[in-house]
Structure 1
Amino acid sequence: MTANQQRGREAENLARRFLEEQGLRLLAQNWLCRRGELDLVMLDGDTVVFVEVRYRRHAAWGGALESVDARKQARIALAAEYFLQQEKRWGKHPCRFDVIALGATSGPTDRPEWIKNAFDA
């Protein structure tokens, strides 16, 4: 695992703990399929939440939030659709797409910046 991958995993773990403290329950982490990867899949009440975790060390490369562009959103939506097809028990639940931003936009020691309903599929 590269240093960047390690930092990414650490950011995902921090985001997961933060969301669990907010009352969400983990359904899957680093869920892989042929259409992509879902960083976190959480349950918020009865809503399935697909969480993209973005970490940026330097603001010069763009903030964590800005890095979730339309192409990335489309990839996440396709992976989420596949997740719901594979995990049928969650298929009838409402869904949303959130982003957790860490790093340059929020400061490394600050609380994660949680954007609910960051985009629509």
Structure 2
Amino acid sequence: MSRAEAERQGRRGESLAAWYLWLTGWRILARRQRIGAGEVDIVARKGRTVAFVEVKWRATARALDEAIDARRLRRVARAAEALVPRFAKPGDDVQIDVILLAPGHWPRHMANVWQP
């Protein structure tokens, strides 16, 4: 797969993840927030919880099992830490979530996956 095709698939996955979050009661605050060496794909709020969401799209469900690792989560956590003042209010809970997507499968939403 070319870099351009991978980029298109990634953006499509982020759009699907945003729809999924919205349909399950989350409000999308921002998408593709880049800061320093990291990036957060989606920032969403549900009640008093703000989630910084990493989205992974793979061609097969089997490939999703290896799509996320501690190194990637650390990068997202560093970016989220820098973005918290912009999106969270005092008293909000903040978490790092992951949404895994593959064709023909329901999104797999894993909440609060990072514990520093």
* TM-score of Structure 1 vs Structure 2, range by shorter chain: 0.7 to 0.9
The one of 11, 17, 20 equivalent to 1:15 is 17
Deviation, 1:65, is 4.3
Q: How does 1:65-76 map to 2 (within 5 A)?
A: 65-76=65-76
- Contact kept in structure 2, 1:40 and 1:50, CA below 8 Å: yes
Letter in 2 for 1:67: A
Measured in 2, the distance between the counterparts of 1:76 and 1:26 equals 17
Measured in 2, the distance between the counterparts of 1:91 and 1:35 equals 24
The one of 71, 90, 95 equivalent to 2:88 is 90
Q: How many residues align?
A: 113
Which TM-score applies when normalising by structure 1? 0.84
Measured in 1, the distance between the counterparts of 2:54 and 2:65 equals 10
CA shift in 2, pair 1:98/1:16, >3 Å: same
Name 1:101's counterpart in structure 2. Answer: 100
Give the match's secondary structure for 2:104.
Answer: coil
CA shift in 2, pair 1:32/1:40, >3 Å: same
Percent sequence identity is 35
Moved over 3 A (4+): none
Which TM-score applies when normalising by structure 2? 0.87
Where do 5+ consecutive residues of structure 1 fail to align?
A: none
- RMSD (CA atoms): 1.8
Name 2:5's counterpart in structure 1. Answer: 3
Deviation, 1:115, is 1.0
Q: How does 1:35-54 map to 2 (within 5 A)?
A: 35-54=37-56
